[in-house]
Structure 1
Amino acid sequence: MPLRFVFQHDNDPKHTTRLVQEWFHNNDVEILHVKQRSVRLAIALRKKEITSKDVILCCSKNTIDNTIPILAALYLGAKVVNLDPTLGVRNSRHLVSLVCPTIIFVEDSSVGFIESSLEQTNLTPTIIVFGDSDEYEQFSELVRPQEDEEEFRPVKVDIHDTAVMFFSSGTTGLPKVICHSHYSFLQMLTIGQEYGYNYGSTLHFTTFYWISGMAILANTFMDGSARVFCDDVDGETILKIIQDYKLSAIFMAPVYTYKLTRAENLSKYDTSSLRYLLTGGTPISPEQTKRLNNLFENGEIIFGYGMTEVGRISSFYPETNKKLMKIKPSSCGQVAPETSVKIVDPGTEEVLGPNREGAIRVKSPSVMVGYYNLDSSQCFDSDGFLKTGDWGYYDEDKCLYVVGRLREMFKYKSWHIVPSAIEGVILEHPAVKEAVVIGIPREDDGEVPAACVVLKDGCVVTNEEIERFVVERVPDREKLRGGVAFATELPKTPTGKVIREEVQKCQIMAHILHGRKLNSIIEMTTLGEFIFNQADKFGSNICQVDANLRKTESYSSVKQRSVRLAVSLQKKLSAGDVTVSCSKNTLDNAIPVLASFYLGAVVSNLDASLGVKNSRYLMSLVSPKIIFVDEPSVAMIEEALQGTDLEPEIVVFGRSDKYRKFSDLVQPSPEEASFRPVTVDVHDTAVMFFSSGTSGFPKAVCHSHYTTLQIVEIGKKIEFEEPCTLNFSKFYWISAMILLIRGFVDGSTRVFSESLDADAILRTIQDYKVSSVFGAPSLTYVFTHAENLQQYDISSFRYMLITGTGFSAEQYKRFSDLLPNVDIIFAYAMTEIGQISLFNPKYHKELMKSKPKSCGKVAPETSLKIVSTDTREILGPNQKGEIHVKSPGLMVGYYNLGSTSQCLDNDGFLKTGDMGYYDDDNCLYVVGRLKEMFKYKSWHIVPSFMEDVILEHPAVKEAVVVGVPQEDEGEVPTACVVLKDGYVASSQEIEMFVAERVSEREKLRGGVTFTTELPKTPTGKVIRREVQKNLLRCLE
């Protein structure tokens, strides 16, 4: 056999050299070469008693050295297998345990990885290091001259013995070990040679972990071609390598082809030597194929189809199939020499004809021996054909098309969806770098197509734009009904294949939790029309109860009075004007709300406890036309209006000599019988709520008629009966407004009270048969501390709805033990979007009991994701990040603050500013506000967690934790505590109590201070910046 001259290029300049590599039996070359070094290593390994029974494992990037152990092992008849450090320790530990290597060759940078992979195994292989090592034997020591190297000959083994092993991609589970014999691997090379390609020097990027890397190495001994290898580089570097080394062929994955076509200065390089660009694995769009043909005018783009288990299955013959290659760019060619392919219906096992899609089966002399230490019989059919797991067809020219993986396909309704077809369309979008399509389960549709997309650097595009782009190019069944999410990278195997199970399991897409989709139960009209029409259905039903004054009012009366007020105001008030109410809860203060809805005016409510400064700011923001105010708050409103340009009409609930009285405006009118609500756009703003203002001045949150009714409808779809609800919130809060409107859906009764006295609450529940109580967590303590609980019949009481802050597990247990028939439902909601999550007692009873800290499952019609605050990556279960949420109840925006786009992410999800996670049961946990967190040294401290611990102390009523700056430590946790009446506790006692229950970093290093009350907003939220300011003042 003549000499084989092989050029190997390593992109590390220190290792760039020229080598002569020859087939073993040619030994007349005098310079140091591959054969010489591999023989020396083989002799050294033989002295270590390596035989054909042993496995040699290599873990290294491509270098001049890592070829040598492979050849040496083959000389000794040992089995060769290669590991890639990007697999990760878990997979590597599994694979190393599977093959039990006697020796591991490893590059110096991966020694730690190998050591970790060997932990928790019983393996004790010899480790040999490429590079320097004080602990292990060095490769360089084993390739020194040997006395008997001239006499060395390879060991004779059976050609059907396993020679080379490869790890499968692991896209459908832990990787397996694919075994090729000497015979099957040489057959694979022979089949490749029969195509008649004259490769010459070939560039590749694959390590020997890939079968392609091993095949290209072996081909150098078949035809004397040069092997050029390098690490992942940019397109311009690839073009320079083509020019400098006169490459005639490149083997590259489709993703690398985009690097070439996007490279700048394309015309600067001479690539005329390139004859073949061989690719495969995933499809390339027709547009990209055209770009490649334009780049390499003299070359052929050859898309092949192969598998590690069998090698090449199909490809075009460049000399005889040139015409077919050009007119069938999406085909992977005709069947390879010595190979048979059939298309089979997997249900009936019928062999299908041309243009009929089915499962691809293949038979070839190069098919694997099997999977190492596993029964592989199920991989073959009764005719001995390998079940590839791919889905495809062949046309009338016997050109093969692979349309997807059988396991990747899913069913939308009765249609088979082939992800690769949709992915090919998405990749045509100019901003898209990578895309994967999976099926997301939907109750009525089977699985709907959803896409996860990686954008090109510097490109910006919305999910809606991608969805529209796809809609215009695919049939209805392939529309992205599951939506589009963006990622910085896709989870892949070391071979570059997307791990679809990870995309689905860790859910880059179904990381996005979706609430149930249910049929609409509310006609989407304006709030005015809806309430006006619905009121007549419930006539004499009790609409509202003032528990303070023991007064009730029917739906008929509420409608009559609100219509009369609308008639009185219609000449003064137009659609789009703003009305403001500032009043405690009475039977009267709901009436201006409804009258404003009838007239298309925008409703807003103030709370007198906001004070003059905040009230002045908010009224200046919304510019009300009319202000409804109760008697005690008139002076505050007058003072708040001073220094503004506002001149609203003031209407007083009660007596007034200076302003119009509300009672005068609800007198009978001849026009009331013919009155009808004004027609406005359902997407116009209907109601505004003021944000809590915990981190600055409050903002005005705008909801349209549509979004408000959507919030009401989502609440109703939770499907538990609340015929009578007691609440303590004013219309300043969204909860009170939603309860008012919800009554017009089902005729339920809204009971309101100001008293938090236990006896008053228990009497109200008894007298009005209250079924649910809505309030803050502190309300639960009213029940658990009630002395006269047994004196009242509260059997109607079924649900305790909690929102806002959490409370301790001990309090949950106390309440549940005391009232076992009452379900505590901890809900998560925001003014900006309404209900986000809660447990449905109809379906989630056991979960509610076992997860008292969770705020439940995602609400109907709602989508939620957890996003890394650092990388913006969508996180999976049990990973903490910022909560982002999307719902048809999402606010219109903030009033008069311009664009609110900064509140939304690229997918249109609201950035809640809350930190949380969901568990393996998709139950949500809110752990704190992003703005409330602080750093002690390098640790993130979540105040709410520590506050829960402090609240477990029997003497503590309320607690807030903030960070107090210290020069060397960042901010140290510091607590401000309110004690229960009659209790005494020292700061040291509370510090010790906390220290016993938290990690080292969460100890109260800043100490504990006591106060009689915490500064709060009108909604009851602690104003942390005020607490911090007061603490710093105390410490001065």
Structure 2
Amino acid sequence: MLKNPKYVYGPQTVLVPANINFGDYVLGKMWPFRQNVAMINGATDEHLTYSDIIQQAMNFAVSLTRMGVRKGDTIALFSENRQEYWGAVVGVACTGAILTTINTGYAKDELIHVTNISKPKYFIISSTMYEIHAKTIRSLEFVKKIIVFDGAKFQNTLSFDDLVFEKNGLIKNVNYEEFQSVEVEGQTDTLFIMYSSGTTGLPKGVMTTHLNVITACGLPASHDASKMSLTISPWYHVMGLVGTLTALVTGRTAVYLSKFSVDTYLKAIEKYKVVQLTVVPPVLVAVCKNKSKYDLSSVRMIYSGAAPLHKDTIKDVEATFPNVEGVYQGYGATEVTLAVLRYQFNDPINKLGSVGVISPNTILKVVDIETREPLGPNQRGELCAKGELLMKGYVNIGRGSDFDEEGFYKTGDIAYYDEDRYFFIVDRLKELIKYKGFQVPPAEIEAVLLQHEGIKEAAVVGIEDRAAGEVPLAFVVPQPRQTLTEKEVQNFVAERLSNPKHLRGGVRFVNQIPKSPAGKLLRKDLRKMLKTSKSKL
């Protein structure tokens, strides 16, 4: 009945509509801005208005329902950033179906793994992804129909354009005043399934409810809705998916890119007089190293997430962007529907190295690693979170060790907060490697390494890299009388896993892998070995 004085409580300021269907919620929020431009493709200058998104979403929802989609069905979205994406996202939400967004960088085995978690009946896919993965997707027995973007026609597929655009004759434009989303139980019904890798290695399906996402969209804005923004976050990732939705409800205009190159990025800033940037740290590092001359004077605010931002990088950023007024960080995870720690765009305080203050409708605690007792200011321990942003759970996995007895999610990150309740992330308890904002699970790479007939044992750790944050390095024990080369092992992994999981840190050949009496890999000992002389046979 009494608040714990060592917990940090966010204000209860997010208002939730009585009808907790995210589809209805976001359509209602976008409607007043229907004449405004929502998005601009920074590479092609294509413009997308809020009216375009609303119309596409309603038409698509009606088409899906006629096709047989029902509340609780799962629909996969597998595409690079493109303008049809948001009509598809909102349209699926309106049907009461579950949307699962899939990483466009996945290799075949990774794609099979995640789709076997969510088992989508329908696939919405770009022609680029279809040409690469058609055979794999068609081998999935639970997939009934495939819908392809960009007007592409493939055998036994449906065209997204035919289901969405009136000019194609299959659908009449739906009137906003006559449209209503399928009724859902917003507090418990799943809206999104996204994928997050835990310490077990393989990705897990994170179930996010309608209420989770409405709460995230109701948080105080981290950006000024009246100023031009630029984002390159992939929309399948929580930072891109939920982050963009939180922008759409404010009527903001944003420039986006489907892929990153330094020159294209800097040209977009100059051309559109971008004021606000949303980035991951490696992008800032690449931009600061670029010697090309672009006019970056319009940039006033930079918001960084997905990985820690080093203090020296912040100094480089301030030198590169002459008029920048603030470089802000936030902290979150797929499991907490984007961010539980953040700055607002008009926050007068920006403490160097801090990830901000607690988000509304959230409770945080920092606990002692051994005793699990809550700690006070300036004491380091594991950060734990609960509240309306906390996921429903993992698909087909019990809460187990990911939650404590009070229902707090154990983030696996070491943090502390100061006397002003500003939080600082100082280390990771989990063993995940953060490569350019991607979570790379060592156990997944180790499992692949052990498939090599010449490898007896293997262990993977992350090593610091200025440009990428961390890169994976493998310790390998060869089979007796086997001769392996570093390049051979690196290629073996590269052929089987997606780009962030490649062994950019190299391979060290050793006689044995240090383990505890229980057989657990001692990664701390491996990291100590890296600080000594180069490991070799």
TM-score scaled to structure 2, two decimals? 0.77
2:260 aligned partner, one-letter code: L
Partner in structure 2 of residue 198 of structure 1: none
Distance 1:685 1:575 in 2: 10
Secondary structure of the residue that 2:202 maps to in structure 1?
A: coil
Contact 1:694-1:1017 at 8 Å conserved across structures: no
Alpha-carbon distance change, 616 to 778 in structure 1, aligned in 2, over 3 angstroms: same
Partner in structure 2 of residue 779 of structure 1: 283
Alpha-carbon distance change, 524 to 904 in structure 1, aligned in 2, over 3 angstroms: farther
Structure 1 position 909 matched with structure 2 position 397: no
Contact 1:739-1:750 at 8 Å conserved across structures: no
Distance 1:715 1:517 in 2: 12
Alpha-carbon distance change, 844 to 960 in structure 1, aligned in 2, over 3 angstroms: farther
1:215-364 alignment, distance < 5 Å? none
Secondary structure of the residue that 1:510 maps to in structure 2?
A: coil
Partner in structure 1 of residue 378 of structure 2: 878
Partner in structure 1 of residue 123 of structure 2: 627
Partner in structure 1 of residue 75 of structure 2: 579
**How many angstroms does 1:726 deviate by?**
1.7
The correspondence for 2:316, drawn from 814, 825, 834, is 814
**How many angstroms does 1:1032 deviate by?**
4.4
Contact 1:918-1:925 at 8 Å conserved across structures: yes
Give a deviation string over 1:551-587, Cα, whole Å, max 9, x none. Answer: 0111111111222222221122111111101111111
Structure 1 position 538 matched with structure 2 position 33: yes
**How many angstroms does 1:693 deviate by?**
6.1
Contact 1:878-1:918 at 8 Å conserved across structures: yes
Partner in structure 2 of residue 824 of structure 1: 327
Alpha-carbon distance change, 772 to 524 in structure 1, aligned in 2, over 3 angstroms: farther
1:788-807 alignment, distance < 5 Å? 788-789=292-293, 791-792=294-295, 794-795=297-298, 797-807=299-309
**How many angstroms does 1:613 deviate by?**
0.6
Partner in structure 1 of residue 347 of structure 2: 843
Partner in structure 1 of residue 487 of structure 2: none
1:389-788 alignment, distance < 5 Å? 467=1, 480=2, 482=3, 509-518=4-13, 520=15, 525-571=20-66, 572-641=68-137, 644-654=140-150, 655-658=152-155, 659-668=157-166, 669-670=171-172, 672-673=174-175, 674-683=178-187, 684-692=189-197, 695-716=200-221, 720-721=224-225, 723-788=227-292
Alpha-carbon distance change, 620 to 1029 in structure 1, aligned in 2, over 3 angstroms: farther
Secondary structure of the residue that 2:384 maps to in structure 1?
A: strand
Distance 2:401 2:23 in 1: 32
1:838 aligned partner, one-letter code: R
Q: Once superposed, what is the RMSD of the aligned Cα atoms?
A: 3.3
Alpha-carbon distance change, 651 to 1018 in structure 1, aligned in 2, over 3 angstroms: farther
Contact 2:9-2:363 at 8 Å conserved across structures: yes
Distance 2:496 2:331 in 1: 19
Contact 1:765-1:794 at 8 Å conserved across structures: no
2:205 aligned partner, one-letter code: A
Secondary structure of the residue that 1:714 maps to in structure 2?
A: coil
Distance 2:207 2:506 in 1: 31
**How many angstroms does 1:804 deviate by?**
2.1
Distance 1:693 1:870 in 2: 20
2:388 aligned partner, one-letter code: P
Distance 2:174 2:432 in 1: 55
**How many angstroms does 1:785 deviate by?**
2.5
Contact 1:524-1:706 at 8 Å conserved across structures: no
Alpha-carbon distance change, 623 to 720 in structure 1, aligned in 2, over 3 angstroms: same
Alpha-carbon distance change, 742 to 832 in structure 1, aligned in 2, over 3 angstroms: same
Distance 1:879 1:587 in 2: 46
Contact 1:608-1:636 at 8 Å conserved across structures: no
Alpha-carbon distance change, 872 to 1032 in structure 1, aligned in 2, over 3 angstroms: farther
Contact 2:14-2:361 at 8 Å conserved across structures: no
The correspondence for 1:918, drawn from 417, 420, 430, is 417
Alpha-carbon distance change, 646 to 755 in structure 1, aligned in 2, over 3 angstroms: closer
Question: Aligned pair count?
Answer: 462
Give a deviation string over 1:678-725, Cα, whole Å, max 9, x none. Answer: 121112111111114675111111111111111121253x57556433
Alpha-carbon distance change, 1028 to 585 in structure 1, aligned in 2, over 3 angstroms: closer
**How many angstroms does 1:648 deviate by?**
2.4
Distance 1:1019 1:541 in 2: 38
Partner in structure 2 of residue 377 of structure 1: none
**How many angstroms does 1:841 deviate by?**
5.0
2:209 aligned partner, one-letter code: S
Higher Cα Rg, which structure: 1
Partner in structure 2 of residue 383 of structure 1: none
Percent of residue pairs bearing the same amino acid type: 23
What are structure 1's unaligned runs of at least 5 residues? 1-466, 468-479, 483-508, 935-942, 967-1010
The correspondence for 1:893, drawn from 393, 403, 412, is 393
Partner in structure 1 of residue 447 of structure 2: none
Contact 2:29-2:250 at 8 Å conserved across structures: no
**How many angstroms does 1:536 deviate by?**
2.2
Contact 1:757-1:782 at 8 Å conserved across structures: no
Distance 1:517 1:608 in 2: 37
Distance 2:185 2:427 in 1: 37
**How many angstroms does 1:642 deviate by?**
5.8
1:543 aligned partner, one-letter code: A
2:236 aligned partner, one-letter code: Y
Distance 1:547 1:695 in 2: 39
**How many angstroms does 1:839 deviate by?**
3.3
Contact 1:542-1:555 at 8 Å conserved across structures: yes
Alpha-carbon distance change, 931 to 524 in structure 1, aligned in 2, over 3 angstroms: same
Give a deviation string over 1:905-950, Cα, whole Å, max 9, x none. Answer: 122211111122223443322223213299xxxxxxxx88x83xx6
Structure 1 position 869 matched with structure 2 position 373: no
Distance 2:407 2:468 in 1: 40
**How many angstroms does 1:821 deviate by?**
3.1
Partner in structure 1 of residue 436 of structure 2: none
1:830 aligned partner, one-letter code: A
Alpha-carbon distance change, 960 to 793 in structure 1, aligned in 2, over 3 angstroms: closer
Distance 2:495 2:386 in 1: 29
Give a deviation string over 1:252-304, Cα, whole Å, max 9, x none. Answer: xxxxxxxxxxxxxxxxxxxxxxxxxxxxxxxxxxxxxxxxxxxxxxxxxxxxx
Contact 2:25-2:214 at 8 Å conserved across structures: no
Secondary structure of the residue that 1:638 maps to in structure 2?
A: helix
Give a deviation string over 1:146-189, Cα, whole Å, max 9, x none. Answer: xxxxxxxxxxxxxxxxxxxxxxxxxxxxxxxxxxxxxxxxxxxx
Distance 1:1030 1:810 in 2: 29
Partner in structure 1 of residue 486 of structure 2: none
1:518 aligned partner, one-letter code: T
Alpha-carbon distance change, 701 to 662 in structure 1, aligned in 2, over 3 angstroms: same
Alpha-carbon distance change, 652 to 670 in structure 1, aligned in 2, over 3 angstroms: closer
**How many angstroms does 1:764 deviate by?**
1.6
2:330 aligned partner, one-letter code: A
2:508 aligned partner, one-letter code: L
Distance 2:536 2:70 in 1: 55
Partner in structure 2 of residue 21 of structure 1: none
Contact 2:220-2:344 at 8 Å conserved across structures: no
Distance 1:1019 1:905 in 2: 33
Contact 1:532-1:598 at 8 Å conserved across structures: no
Alpha-carbon distance change, 959 to 884 in structure 1, aligned in 2, over 3 angstroms: closer
